[in-house]
A = this chain, B = another copy of it.
Amino acid sequence: MKYVKNLVCISCGESYEASPTQYLCPNCGEKGILDVQYDYEKIKKEWSKKDLASNNDPTIWRYTPLLPIEPNSVKPPLRVGNTPVYESKAMAKELGVSTLYIKDDGLNPTGSLKDRASSIAVVKAQEARINVVACASTGNAASSLAGNIASMGNEMRAVIFVPERAPIGKVTQLLIYGALVISVKGSYEETFYLSEEAINKWGWYNRNAAINPYLVEGKKTSSIEFAEQLNWNMPDWLVYSVGDGCTIAGAWKGVYDLKQIGFIDKVPKLLGVQAEGCAPITKAYKSGNDLIVEKENTLADSIAVGKPRNYIKAIKAVKQSKGDMVNVSDNEILNMMKVLGKKTGIFGEPAGVAGVAGIKQAVEKDIIKPYESVGVVITGNGLKDIKNAQKSVGEPLRVSTNINELYNLLNEYF
């Protein structure tokens, strides 16, 4: 890791050597999230926008100087990153902003932004010479880990702990990728702690979000890539939905890195969007008090995190960017799935479009001004959650095979 200096605890400031299995700060426990520190001066001297422009690798590995990996480590072959950015005039008008850029991260290989983190986990596990990588998750973290591990051929194995309530559809994707899926008769919390015990016992590599400081560094490629695709001109706002806080913290890290090495001049304000039914980070952000654990009462399951583990980094990110946070209701999310689909051809999962719904609200609340430009990342593919999508749409027109019946119906319709 040519440009990595060390890991620093975001709670007590203690430094640690950046070894692959250095997870939390031992002094601070769960609050001791570590942050990877880079030698920006050195990167600045040795890496330029021009180097990037002449690099034909379209994946996140084009950003290796800003990643906490050994340059020659074996990478999982799935093509992670290089997801499309669209400017949508129709959605800009709908939301009431001057310009809107939408990045569809649901087109990552396993269907979500989490591929950016899981691919890093696979590299780090190999650097540590550990062949089994484990996490507790029912969602995109798990499927992206299982998929990236599978792409290594027969070399590695994913072990995924899920609570028994996990929907069979999501478990299916894990099993297709050949993961060992362990269904725990208990809550998500109990499942998480069981996974931690097992990881320690067997010495597996730990891909649990926030515990592992390298995952955020993978996620930051979403904002770095966004910046490069906009020719290093960041919009006024960058919008992400927020669950455990890792993704928005990663987005900020990417922006911060780019500013430090002089690739961008303007830093966007971050808008963090939580679901009304599970918004502990927004509440802590607004109140300035410590976080209070909440129930997980939203259909946007990928951001339904009642006990988020990376809220400190997330809140710091929003504050440092001079951004803000809002909450959106399930109805706002469902409605926006339909509007976004109809006006852009992008089908996002509920958590994936929550950010877009948040833009609408932020404009109504005068947080985002009508003359400002906005970028938003759709974090997961709508095909992952057809059941909730069904709730957002109406019914088809029903006709017999009689052409006259169709004529009459359509004459009314058109």
Contacts and interface: CB of A to CB of B under 8 A. Distances in A.
Contacts of A341: 150, 176-178
Contacts of A164: 398
Contacts of A183: 396-399
Given A147-B345, A175-B394, A185-B400, 15 more contacts: A79-B84, A90-B153, A90-B154, A107-B109, A146-B345, A151-B344, A151-B345, A172-B389, A172-B393, A173-B386, A177-B341, A178-B341, A182-B399, A183-B398, A197-B406
Contacts of A185: 398-401
A406 B159 CA distance: 12
Given A398-B185, A400-B186, A389 B338 contact: no
B194 A403 contact: yes
Interface in A151-173: 151, 153-154, 162, 164, 168-169, 171-173
A107 B107 contact: yes
8 A-B pairs closest in CB distance: A178-B342, A151-B345, A90-B153, A175-B393, A176-B341, A181-B396, A383-B383, A150-B345
A83 B414 CA distance: 37
How many of these chains are in the complex?
A: 2
A337 interface: yes
Nearest to A388: B172
Given A109-B84, A201-B407, A345-B151, A392 B176 contact: yes
Interface residues of A, number: 81
B342 A150 contact: yes
Contacts of A177: 341-342, 345, 347
Nearest to A166: B396
Contact of A149 (B148, B345, B403): B345
B90 A86 contact: no
A77 interface: yes
Contacts of A130: none
A272 interface: no
